[in-house]
Structure 1
């Protein structure tokens, strides 16, 4: 405050002018300072409420540790294992060779406890890396960076830097443990090894490689892995020790004076017998890939690969929270799939073995559509997976008395049913078979790849259409029904004429007829008969009836509403609104998160953006887990990272707010309907013109 007392008018005016100019200067200083929030970074300093971060490259996925020195768990894609005489099959998750131990002279191992100060972790979404930094007691400043290499999909990398706060020495240990397979009958045998391998016949330098191979629990396959180090400057003396028949370690001593720094890099490689006939040797070979160029070369190529992926991005102006969450969603999906291996995505990606890492309808109905729009090559991989398992789906249909192809509710990597036999869902939740055909039809519509349609798409659609003809039942009036079924609402089993299932069958049969015409093939005449006469029921008030026996009970997740979106079967706006208003209150609020995203997309397409945005937030915000914000399946504690929910969230943005539609002439935009505070929404698709949506 300025007090004016005994000043002349001239002095008062002078002081006022000075104060006004100083205020402008202060204001100018404030606004000239950059106030940029990095919308590619998720940062935390909270070690208490800690759900691990997720890093993946489509073949290797792992969850972080607070110390930044390794992984809580590692998943290896492309191979699942079944214990002998067990009905439970799962992705490989029992091999974790990427942990680094730091052991001090008193044999005390570094842990993330009371000695850790100034702890921080930053998940860099743009570069797909996790950076950890902290001070350990009065001894060390520690910085680490971890990645699942995008350019080397069977490898992960960790860069570790230590700065001495006092004269200190400690031992760095790389420990590799394998499961005990003593009692496993297999042609593969467990083996641990350490050796120095030459880079070439002309280069004298050799690299240290600690390696291992072991059979799967069932004995039918083997898993292999290897580690090597890159050192900055002097290579220390490396000490190898075989701890037991199932454990080995490679260690070196670090001595630092106060103020000195020391850093190194660990490269960890993986492979298995489903990828190569010589898994053990290939794990070692991957270690030597570009070793002579240094680890920075590998990191730079990793960043370049992610930069290429991020050419397909979603930009939201006016809602930083939604922007970060949208990128977390894309990041989670991109981290869970790659090209070249013809694999799909489990519900949790490669973050953990929720549901055994099996492939559900989650892949085709929830994760696939945004990837088809943003990354068609990934969508193709998901379709290739289904095509490769088509022979098994045909056998499965025949085994249960049907024609065509019947895909499993929970598919392992060979296309076998992997649902626990204690559940009945695998026997009757058949809409998955329709979902696969719809995805195949959508792939052709977006890509217009007629050769793919002929070689892979039509065989899938043809076999699935024949399945539904054999699965349907004709009544005395000439109508067709699908009885004794389970729809998406899994709270109600053994029902008749589930609306979503019957509607999906109509879409499939229509696609089969159209694809036959496109390719000049003869359509099965029964496709048209069943398409025209299969029933979709309504209740006395005109709402689409979820199934014949439905009386308004609570439902697990969106079901009948899916006929409007994503199926686009119901297009009448009044009917869509009636169904939305009827079923939303009946959805279990503790059910799977993607229900509200489907409803949000439908409301956005109707133009009710306020309601759409409320449901958009409801679909994922209650499910976010500290500290990085990855979502779980349900609001209460449950498995993360829920890629299924992320797929639904992205569909709300792309097909709801941005107004994108997959039509018979491809991907196009109808009318964007943005939330009131979203100033601008841009859908960036690599190689195509940006889709820019602004407020009206």
Structure 2
């Protein structure tokens, strides 16, 4: 597996993104300086919590958390943080096989030159933990001072309690930090340990700053000798514990029992298990495999079985668009691939929605509907938190059937009957009630009026093809669930599902919405194609093919646009057009790819330094290959019967191969060979 290496650190440099589903780190050229930390569920309200997006002052957003791996180096009185001209970054190496970052740098002062190697990782085995190791060698005998501390300087929010802990405590220091607006808090603790041949002295000080207590290590180092500073930080959001600062100390104590090397070993084991679901493309070039490996790494970095609040479009990052809110991106773009490779992580995404059903019930009631209605933008509370200037928060209702269909898909893939009865069925039942209350009976049938589909440029439309198809499928899934559990579904569910309006023109093309007219040469948002994939709505064959041909003929106008292009290669494959499949596969990633760490932008014109990883792109790429190009139609039938579509792969690709996915609680393999009548699922 390839490693991503950075050797150029100019103005276009993008910080490394390391995450584990609870903690996200954005680390710069010197990882122990000015690290940015995001904690799943740690939210605040302040103009400084969000950059480049006008949310502030009206809704909550991910707030930056204190950085517990902060450190500094002093050589004979010359301090690294104060002398950036003496710092030379040689390279950074991101090993996605285990989620580790290695940074090699030099601190060349007139009084001594140091070679410094820094290791960083976020633990998947104990996800509130983040770890750092700083290894230092010197070119001559020198007095050295290393400083370890929790850095909260410049952060919005305020200090509740904290400081240096008594010497009998395992943690060096602790901080309880509250976000702006007092919406949540985070507990932070850190311990450090110095390893080497030389003796050293330690000293703790607060430097006179509240919230910036430090632990200092002083020693003399000879030429060629090595000293290593190890730090383990724990961050606990208040959404997971009522006294997060105390729990952070407990987790640091636990990490001390495990030891740094064991934490690292366990993290590598967790990644090794995940990588058994690596998507391999036989015959493709190295770049294609790098793209898929990177997609897999960043999606799974951002989601974990312990994640309390699902995943936002830019993952666990602050200072990026969308404020850390949860959108349809989670269930529609990220969830399906996660479900096949890490079903416990997928369940955590759904548990977030289940926990917030009471809020969804109020959301529906406030709009005059029955049942439950999920917010377009969700946060800790489950209330609608879209900005008040945006129509999306009041019109983009397709999020509700999107969530319901994810619950149904989870049941079909896992076969978990307890989950069906206790969690999926209540969601499907109440969303079905919402659909019935949302529908308007006219002479045309049941219409869905005054809404917005995934194409946010079309506002206050009627009968969005995507929305209406999603409602039909949700009603059918609710009927299936009711019958499976021994209930008699309401007759209205079948009646409404059979009469919801879908606009098909005289050329058998599925139309985006009532009154839609395409203006030649103008941008065409291809959201309607999502009815065919990933929704897999059962259109008549002639309608599906006519719709594919019409939209794919015009889809070039959307190249480099957000969200949808990673999926378009599947639509070309459904037509059997290998050349177009190849073209759209390449356009599905190349406009979004960011060097040097294989991250993904939201759209073509976005600057590399903006954002971290826009997860709808890697999620879409994984869905396209694992499900779409593999010809799977996942449903309640037997898994081997999911392999329904003929396999058409991009040029040069011979086969898609996944050694391990999870189906009905068992490990299975998947092979999809170009030209085959269908893929093969093999149970162990």
Structure 1 and Structure 2 fold alike (TM over 0.5)? yes
SS state of the match for residue 311, structure 1? helix
Match of 1:675 in 2: 650
Matched, 1:402 2:365: no
Match of 1:546 in 2: 512
1:47-103 deviation per Cα after TM superposition (whole angstroms, max 9, x unaligned): 123111211111001112112325631100133234599422112324223222223
1:331-363 deviation per Cα after TM superposition (whole angstroms, max 9, x unaligned): 111111111454311111113443111110101
Counterpart Cα distance in 2 of 1:448 and 1:599: 30
Match of 2:577 in 1: 608
Q: Which moved more, 1:571-580 or 1:330-339?
A: 571-580
Matched, 1:382 2:352: no
Counterpart Cα distance in 2 of 1:555 and 1:389: 37
**Cα offset, 1:442, TM superposition:** 0.9
Match of 1:368 in 2: 335
Match of 1:214 in 2: 177
**Cα offset, 1:540, TM superposition:** 4.4
Given candidates 429, 439, 452, the residue that maps to 2:396 is 429
Counterpart Cα distance in 2 of 1:606 and 1:227: 56
Counterpart Cα distance in 2 of 1:391 and 1:364: 19
* Structure 1 pair 622–591 and aligned structure 2 pair: CA distance change class (3 A): closer
Alignment of 1:93-104 (within 5 A): 93-104=64-75
* Structure 1 pair 620–396 and aligned structure 2 pair: CA distance change class (3 A): same
Counterpart Cα distance in 2 of 1:136 and 1:574: 68
Is contact 1:488–1:558 with CA below 8 Å preserved after alignment?
no
SS state of the match for residue 673, structure 1? coil
Counterpart Cα distance in 2 of 1:604 and 1:59: 37
Given candidates 359, 371, 376, the residue that maps to 1:392 is 359
Alignment of 1:251-400 (within 5 A): 251-318=216-283, 319-352=285-318, 353-400=320-367
Counterpart Cα distance in 2 of 1:469 and 1:147: 48
Q: Which moved more, 1:379-388 or 1:347-356?
A: 347-356
Alignment of 1:55-204 (within 5 A): 55-70=18-33, 72-82=35-45, 86-110=57-81, 115-117=86-88, 119-137=90-108, 139-178=113-152, 190-198=160-168
Q: Which moved more, 1:634-643 or 1:110-119?
A: 110-119
Counterpart Cα distance in 2 of 1:684 and 1:50: 35
Counterpart Cα distance in 2 of 1:116 and 1:406: 53
Q: Which moved more, 1:530-539 or 1:341-350?
A: 341-350
SS state of the match for residue 182, structure 2? coil
Counterpart Cα distance in 2 of 1:573 and 1:631: 35
Is contact 2:17–2:612 with CA below 8 Å preserved after alignment?
no
Counterpart Cα distance in 1 of 2:620 and 2:541: 21
SS state of the match for residue 591, structure 2? helix
SS state of the match for residue 660, structure 1? coil
**Cα offset, 1:235, TM superposition:** 5.2
Alignment of 1:469-484 (within 5 A): 469-475=436-442, 477=443, 479-484=445-450
**Equivalent pairs, count:** 646
Matched, 1:458 2:420: no
Q: Which moved more, 1:451-460 or 1:244-253?
A: 244-253
* Structure 1 pair 503–133 and aligned structure 2 pair: CA distance change class (3 A): same
Match of 1:689 in 2: 668
SS state of the match for residue 164, structure 2? strand
**Cα offset, 1:639, TM superposition:** 2.6
Q: Which moved more, 1:665-674 or 1:91-100?
A: 665-674
Counterpart Cα distance in 2 of 1:448 and 1:627: 41
Match of 1:595 in 2: 564
**Cα offset, 1:312, TM superposition:** 1.8
Counterpart Cα distance in 2 of 1:249 and 1:590: 51
Counterpart Cα distance in 2 of 1:150 and 1:134: 27
Matched, 1:560 2:528: yes
Give 5+ residue unaligned stretches, structure 2. Answer: 48-55, 676-684
SS state of the match for residue 238, structure 1? strand
Given candidates 557, 575, 580, the residue that maps to 2:548 is 580
Give 5+ residue unaligned stretches, structure 1. Answer: 1-38, 199-205
1:472-501 deviation per Cα after TM superposition (whole angstroms, max 9, x unaligned): 1111x2511111110000011011111101
Match of 2:602 in 1: 633
Counterpart Cα distance in 2 of 1:680 and 1:582: 29
Match of 1:8 in 2: none
SS state of the match for residue 422, structure 2? helix
Given candidates 607, 619, 632, the residue that maps to 2:588 is 619
SS state of the match for residue 276, structure 2? coil
SS state of the match for residue 692, structure 1? strand
Counterpart Cα distance in 2 of 1:122 and 1:631: 18
Counterpart Cα distance in 2 of 1:182 and 1:308: 38
Is contact 1:507–1:569 with CA below 8 Å preserved after alignment?
yes
TM-score normalised per structure 1: 0.88
Is contact 2:508–2:542 with CA below 8 Å preserved after alignment?
no
Please tell me whether Structure 1 or Structure 2 has the larger radius of gyration of its CA atoms.
Answer: 1
SS state of the match for residue 193, structure 2? strand
Q: Which moved more, 1:98-107 or 1:406-415?
A: 98-107
Is contact 1:100–1:172 with CA below 8 Å preserved after alignment?
yes
Match of 1:514 in 2: 480
Counterpart Cα distance in 2 of 1:404 and 1:413: 21
Counterpart Cα distance in 1 of 2:249 and 2:167: 9
1:418-455 deviation per Cα after TM superposition (whole angstroms, max 9, x unaligned): 10011111101000001011111111111121221111
CA RMSD of aligned residues (A): 2.5
TM-score normalised per structure 2: 0.89
1:460-479 deviation per Cα after TM superposition (whole angstroms, max 9, x unaligned): 0111111111111111x251
SS state of the match for residue 526, structure 1? helix
Is contact 1:390–1:405 with CA below 8 Å preserved after alignment?
yes
Match of 2:411 in 1: 444
Counterpart Cα distance in 2 of 1:52 and 1:602: 34
Counterpart Cα distance in 1 of 2:317 and 2:184: 22
**Cα offset, 1:230, TM superposition:** 2.2
Is contact 1:181–1:190 with CA below 8 Å preserved after alignment?
no
1:632-690 deviation per Cα after TM superposition (whole angstroms, max 9, x unaligned): 11111253301111111111111222223312225433343332312332113255232
